[in-house]
Every structure is written in structure tokens, then in C-alpha cells.
Amino acid sequence: MSNKISLAAGSALGVALAMGLGVAAQAQDMSYKWSGAPQFSNDDVAFKFRGRILVDYVNQDVSRDGPGGDFKTSNWRGRQVFLGVEGKLNNYFAYKAEGGWVNGGAASWDDVVIEYKPNEQVSLLFGNIKAAGLENLTSTRFITFMDRGPYGDFGVDSYLVSAVAKYQGFNYSATFAVQGNSINSADVANAGADSKERFGLTARAHWAPVNTDTSKVHLGLSYRYRNRGDESAFAYTGRTTTAYTNGTTFYTTGGIGNRDKTLAAEAMLIHGPLSVQGEYSNIDITRVGGAAIGKDPKVKVGYAFVSFWPTGEMRNYDPAAGEVKRPKILNPVTAGGMGGVELALRYDYADLGDAYDTLNVKPATSQAGKYTGWTLGLNYYPVSYVRFQANYTDGKSDNIGLNQDYDIKQFQLRAQLDF
């Protein structure tokens, strides 16, 4: 209930801010344009509403060994229903706030950002922010597949309350972030004793050595340090290239991490309508319980995919930010065209086996195994702000013990509109 009240209050604040901007602009000439939604601006002030609607269908056919047997799931779901505002107060201060409902759960915040720009190259940001990862920094609205797979589950962090410093050049950037937990997480309470929230540091750098009209090359590295504080131990749990779960866990280490260090690499090549992209993370974990339980394990996770636009579009890469933006559809249906079509093939990989192998006493069963998955994707854009998607995933998790192996065949559909 408190999250819903907070979102309602935030929406009211956005409306009040819009009215205030309108009053303040009476003595100024405000320009108007359509950018998915009405956007108002002058030299110093800008404001617009923003939001998204993502409606999914998910069908899973799961086979497993031993007792329990096979099962199937079939669900329609509201993947995301968000509403927010964004704008700038002047050339130095900007803001963004967006929240809503994800996967049919309680209301929560997504982007909540205050930005200070002392100059064109430097940004200081405070709020609920992502700091690293090529696919992670790309909005869900623009990623090639419906979801980010195991790499998005534990290879990088999603939105965390952070203080972030960014420097952007023409074709490179450097980012440093000091991070806590999500803005939606409850405060750590320890009944009169000392208490500490999780703490993290993330650094990312990228470089685009090739940046022509027809070809782009992206290279990036990031480093993450996390300490769980008094919160639950870090668990490395992945899904099957979907945000859907019916309560079944296909592969996980369980809560084993007291601290961890992650080194990650990212790369992308775009050449006309063809692109190749991949990321890999090596996570060095300090185990809860220390040597009495086992040696400190490593977890490895990554993905690679290739995409092609038969209708001639090119993925929209921002070389200064090192991020992929909204695609520009060459022949939208609103201009009498057929829209844009993108075909894609993805491979996902997660190896959690070391979390089991390094235990002093090994249990009879464990889900700390290996996951591999292949996903076929089809995207259709009638216009740049509307997308229809179809994904088919064939995944397999090899775990230890009876009834712990899973073969997952998964079909997903999505209708998406954002503004």
C-alpha cells in the first residue's frame, strides 16, 4: 500500500511541476513537439510525461528427471505498466521519475534521478540508477530480446540507490558509482543494535574506436565490489531469458555471498543492418561462513547474440554514452511503409558449479549447476514507439542430484507501447 501511495504522490508531484513550469513560462515562448508524448521546452526548461505498457504471453514446457515429473505453464501478464515525468529545470539540473507495476506485483519505482551537469561532459546523478552493463543500460524498451537472461539476473546490478559520476567524450565514457540497495527495499533494522545496508562500488569505461555512418564498434570494461552488510547473503539465481517465474528455480547457488568482486567485459559490432553483441562476467565470491564451509567460489555468466534487420534499419548506438537507444524505423506504417523487422539469435551461459565443487561437505543434491540456452527472436516495429515481439527459448540446466535437471522450452509474445 505504501508503494502505491508513494507512486500516486509522485504522479501528483509531476502534475504540479508541469503546472508550475507553465506558470513560470508565461513570460517566455515555450515550444512544443511530439516525442512519443507532448514535450514542452525553451532554451532552459523542458518537461514531458513518459510511460510504457508491456503486455506478455508466456508458455513454458518443462521436462525434469526423477520424481515430480514434467509440467507446463501458460500465462498472460502485465510485464510493465509505468508512468512518469522527466525534464530539466535549467541547463544545470534535470530530473526523471518513473514507477508502476512489474509482473503483476506491487507498485514500485524504476528510474528516480536528480542530475547535475556542471558542463557538457560531466554529470553527477543521485537516485535509483543503473551504472554498468551494455544490455543493462539499454532500456527494456530497446533491448533486442524480451528479457536479459541470466546475465541480467546476477552478472550486473539493476536499479540501486546511488551517487554516480559520469564523464562522456565524443566516443568514450567513464562512470563511477557508490551504491546501496534498491529504492524499493526496506531499511535495514537490527532492534537497537548497529545495522548496515549493503554497500557497493561500480566503475565502467567504454570506448567506440569505430564510429562511422555504417559501422560501429563498442568495447567496455567494468568492475563491481559489493558487501552485503546486514542484509541477506548474495544469491546467484538465474531465469531462462524471461522475467517470468512460476515459483520454480532452475539453477541457483542459494545465499552464499558475503562479499563479491565482479570483472566484466562487453563488446558490440554494428555494420549496417547486422550486429553482434556479447558480455561476460567473472564473479569472485567471499563465502558466508568462510573456510569452515568451503573455499571461495567463482561464478561465470555471459551471453552473445547476432541480429539482422531485413528491412534495412541499423541499431541506434550512442557512442558518447556507450548505450543503445530507440531504433529509427525507415518506413513506418504512418508513412505508408511496412515498418521495421529485426531477426535475432542469442546464446546464454551460466556456470555456478564452483559453488558446489568448493564445499567441504557436498550435499546429495544441488542446483548450483550449469545453464545454457538458445533464443530465437523476431521484432516488428510498425513505428518507432510500438513493438511486437516473439521469442522462443530452448534451455537446459544441468544440476547435481535426482530431480534437479531441467529442459525448458519456452515461447513468449509481447505487445509494447512507450511514450
Q: What is the pLDDT of residues 387-406, one digit of tens each?
A: 999 999 999 999 998 889 99
pLDDT at 391: 98
> Is the distance from CB of 345 to CB of 375 less than 8 angstroms?
yes
Cell digits of residue 1: 500500500
| In the predicted structure, residue 25 carries a pLDDT above the cut 60 | no
Question: Which cell goes with 170?
Answer: 565524443
What pLDDT is recorded for position 299?
Answer: 98
Contacts with 227 (C-beta within 8 Å, 6 or more apart), sequence order: 198, 199, 200, 258, 259
In the chain, % of residues over pLDDT 70:
92
- Tens of pLDDT along 353-365? 999 999 999 999 9
- The answer on pLDDT for 27 being more than 50 is no
Q: Lowest-pLDDT range, 32-36, 39-43, 145-149, 274-278?
A: 32-36
How many CA atoms are closer than 13 Å to the CA of 377, on its beta-carbon side? 28
Residue 191 confidence (pLDDT): 66
pLDDT, residue 114, reads 98
| Arithmetic mean of pLDDT, 157-184 | 97
pLDDT at 4: 41
Of the pLDDT bands very low, low, confident and very high (cuts 50, 70, 90), residue 73 is very high
Are residues 394 and 409 in contact, defined by beta-carbon separation less than 8 angstroms?
yes
Give the confidence band of 67 by pLDDT, cuts at 50, 70, 90. low
In order of their start, the domains of the chain are 52-81+92-418 (2.40.160.10)
pLDDT at 79 over 90: yes
* Per-residue confidence (pLDDT) for residue 13, from 0 to 100: 44
Whether 44 shows a pLDDT value over 90: the answer reads no
Mean pLDDT of 6-32: 51
> Among 64-68, 158-162, 274-278, 381-385, whose mean pLDDT is lowest?
64-68
Q: Is 349:371 a contact under the CB 8 Å cutoff? A: yes
**Paired strand residues for 373:** 348, 395
Other beta carbons within 10 angstroms of residue 214's beta carbon come to 10
Alpha-carbon gap, residue 390 to 42, rounded angstroms: 40
Look at residue 189 and tell me whether its pLDDT is greater than 90: no
pLDDT (mean) for 103-117: 94
pLDDT band at 35 (very low <50, low <70, confident <90, very high): confident
pLDDT number for residue 180: 97
User: What residue type is assigned to position 8 of the chain?
Assistant: A
Q: What is the pLDDT of residues 226-273, one digit of tens each?
A: 999 999 999 999 999 999 988 899 999 999 999 999 999 999 999 999
DSSP 8-state class, residue 244: -
pLDDT computed for residue 28 by the predictor: 56
Contacting residues for 406 by C-beta, under 8 A, at least 6 apart: 62, 63, 64, 248, 250, 251, 395, 396, 397, 399
Give residue 336's pLDDT band: very low, low, confident or very high (50, 70, 90): very high
pLDDT of residue 215: 98
CA-closest candidate to residue 219, choices 282, 134, 303, 154? 134
Indicate the range of 9-18, 112-121, 305-314 predicted with least confidence: 9-18
- Residues 132/407, Cβ–Cβ less than 8 Å: no
Half-sphere exposure of 108 (CA within 13 A, CB side): 16
- Work out the average pLDDT over 111-129: 97
Residue 43's pLDDT is 79
pLDDT of residue 361: 97
